[in-house]
Amino acid sequence: MSLLLLLGDRSYSSWSMRIGLLVERFALPVPCRFGRLYTEDFRSLLAEFAPARTVPALRLPTGAVIAESLAIAEELAARFPAAGLWPADPDIRAVARSLAAEMHAGFAALREACPMNLRAAYRGVPVNEHVAADLARIELLWDWARAATGRPGPWLCGDYSVADAFFAPVAMRIAGYGLPVSAGARAYVDAHLADPAFRRWRAAGLAEGPDQDFYRCDFDRVPWPEPQTVNPS
């Protein structure tokens, strides 16, 4: 038995996207199965990955299944050390680990108010004080990453790493809901919008069937944003 990843809809499952982007960007030889969140089929599929209760879930060659995106990212990094999922420099890696861990544990207000939806973009979205506080913390962390690592960007800790994959869905919320951020943060969002691995992921998600209703919002719709400061490669 080899590794097998269970993921949810590419357009809607932000935790799946973090791991899916790692597989895509680092060309990891890990097969993926995709389920449509909150359907009967998804529940049956998830039952095959017990004791996981959420996606992403990773089945190991032993048959044991591990859950939690941060644990899965660590596992992939350990099993494919040559891929470089974390920065090689220990001091820079420590910063990347801290960023990924805080993202995994936090930003509940932003996640609740602006669920990831790669099929819709809006304007005029109100920003409550809790979301504003999350955005301020995110900007601070992104600036701090550059200062602490001495790396200019576009990625947080030099080359693209787990830290960037973990913030990719945050970047997509800022882009898709048109949330107000600093010019530096906007440039980082643009780097994600232009990232070829992300663009492949989003295109595959658009082909996954009809829209799902659970994240539908009544805000004014606008076309999906193109990067403003970076050319897609």
Ligand X SMILES: N[C@@H](CCC(=O)N[C@@H](CS)C(=O)NCC(=O)O)C(=O)O
**Interacting residue with ligand X among 3, 54, 101, 200 (CB under 6 A):** 54
Strands (E) located in the chain = 4-7, 32-34, 57-59, 65-67, 121-123, 220-222
- Choices 53-61, 147-155, 178-186, 218-226; region in contact with ligand X by CB under 6 A: 53-61
Kindly tell me the sign of the dihedral angle through the C-alpha atoms of 126, 113, 119, 72: positive
Q: Which of 113, 139, 147, 141 is nearest to 127 (CA)?
A: 113
- When asked if residue 56 is in the footprint of ligand X (CB under 6 A), the reply is yes
Site string for ligand X, 88-107 (x = CB under 6 A): ----------------x---
- When asked if residue 68 is in the footprint of ligand X (CB under 6 A), the reply is yes
- Choices 10-18, 91-99, 124-132, 213-221; region in contact with ligand X by CB under 6 A: 10-18
Q: How far apart are CA 42 and CA 40, in angstroms?
A: 5
Q: Do 178 and 125 meet the contact criterion of CB atoms below 8 Å apart? A: yes
Instruction: Please give the size of the binding site for ligand X, defined by CB under 6 A.
Output: 12
- Choices 8-16, 132-140, 192-200, 208-216; region in contact with ligand X by CB under 6 A: 8-16
At 121 the three-state DSSP class reads strand
Q: Do 152 and 128 meet the contact criterion of CB atoms below 8 Å apart? A: no
- When asked if residue 139 is in the footprint of ligand X (CB under 6 A), the reply is no
Q: Where do contacts with ligand X occur on this chain (CB under 6 A)?
A: 8, 13-16, 37, 54-56, 68-69, 104
